[in-house]
């Protein structure tokens, strides 16, 4: 088993009105109780962060954002700074999700700037990496993930280990219902760990698996020695299924 407490994070993507976000957050808080089996975070859309912050205040649920810009403030229309996320109550932020890379031109270089800015502001970055189906079928999975990890996390301070989280999310498994097998995920997680010798402190960097995690497959994935939690998309939009995944981490 892994040496660190597992983290189950829900990525709500571009879903939920304010009322829906409050209801979902309340359902999670109520179902979780005071002493959950894992650390828990939810990442609502920007518009719902303040509302969800009120619901999760004083509970074990941490608030995360789905993206961040690297500048502190200024003429950057549409962007949100790390300081603003801290101000609204976030303690973590997802960076470099494959949907950001695919639809919004995110690169390893922009990921790196965002990770550094997030850490500087006191946020814990959840940095997403993962290969496309074509890259896996061409036998390039480890090469792609190595580039994303090394370039996305270049030059981080050694004390980042305790706050940094990496999410291995094979692109072909996100939102497709096609999950990596526990063995496939474990192979990449163990490989990622070898890429971070400078961050190999205590506690170790948590590496989450993401890609069609459900209550049915969560326990087998989370039992792997290098899988320290899950980043959950679709199944985090219903309190019952998200809670069942958290229970599987215990």
Please provide the DSSP assignment of 201-212 as one string.
-SSPPEEEEESS
Adjacent-strand bridge partners of 77:
none
Least separation, in Å, of the C-beta of 218 and ligand PEP?
11
* Total of chain residues touching ligand PEP, rule CB under 6 A: 13
Q: Which two tokens stand for residue 49?
A: 């962060």
d(C-alpha 99, C-alpha 105), whole Å:
9
**Does the active-site annotation cover 189?**
no
Pairing label, strands 7-11, 229-232: parallel
When asked if residue 213 is in the footprint of ligand PEP (CB under 6 A), the reply is yes
Least separation, in Å, of the C-beta of 6 and ligand PEP?
16
Q: Which residue is nearest to ligand PEP (CB)?
A: 233
When asked if residue 231 is in the footprint of ligand PEP (CB under 6 A), the reply is yes
Print the binding letters for residues 168-187 with ligand PEP: x by CB under 6 A, - otherwise. -x----xx------------
The residue among 194, 175, 185 whose CA lies nearest residue 225 is: 185
Q: Which is nearer to ligand PEP, 152 or 234 (CB)?
A: 234
Least separation, in Å, of the C-beta of 56 and ligand PEP?
20
When asked if residue 92 is in the footprint of ligand PEP (CB under 6 A), the reply is no
Please provide the DSSP assignment of 7-41 as one string.
EEEEE--S---HHHHHHHHHHHHHHH-SS-SSEEE
- Bond preceding residue 152 cis, omega within 30 of 0: no
**Does the active-site annotation cover 169?**
yes
Residues that are catalytic: 97, 169
Chain residues binding ligand PEP by CB under 6 A are 11, 169, 174-175, 210-213, 231-235
């Amino acid at each position: 088993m892994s040496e660190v407490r597992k983290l189950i994070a829900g990525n709500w993507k571009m879903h939920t009105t304010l009322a829906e976000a409050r209801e979902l957050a309340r359902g999670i808080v109520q179902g979780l109780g005071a002493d959950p089996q894992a650390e828990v975070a939810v990442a609502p859309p920007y518009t719902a962060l303040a509302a969800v912050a009120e619901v999760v205040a004083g509970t074990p649920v941490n608030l995360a954002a789905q993206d961040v810009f690297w500048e502190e403030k200024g003429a950057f229309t549409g962007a949100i700074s790390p300081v603003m996320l801290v101000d609204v109550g976030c303690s973590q932020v997802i960076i470099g999700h494959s949907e950001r890379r695919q639809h919004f031109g995110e690169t390893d270089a922009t990921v790196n700037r965002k990770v550094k800015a997030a850490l500087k502001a006191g946020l814990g970055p959840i940095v997403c990496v993962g290969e496309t189906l074509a890259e896996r079928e061409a036998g390039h999975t480890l090469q792609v993930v190595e580039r994303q990890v090394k370039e996305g996390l270049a030059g981080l301070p050694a004390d980042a280990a305790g706050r940094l989280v990496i999410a291995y999310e094979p692109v072909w498994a996100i939102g497709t219902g096609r999950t990596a097998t526990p063995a496939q995920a474990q192979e990449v997680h163990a490989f990622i760990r070898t890429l971070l010798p400078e961050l190999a402190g205590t506690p170790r960097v948590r590496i989450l698996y993401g890609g069609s995690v459900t209550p049915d497959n969560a326990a087998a994935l989370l039992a792997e020695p290098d899988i320290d939690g899950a980043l959950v998309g679709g199944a985090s939009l219903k309190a019952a299924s998200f809670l069942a995944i958290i229970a599987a981490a215990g």
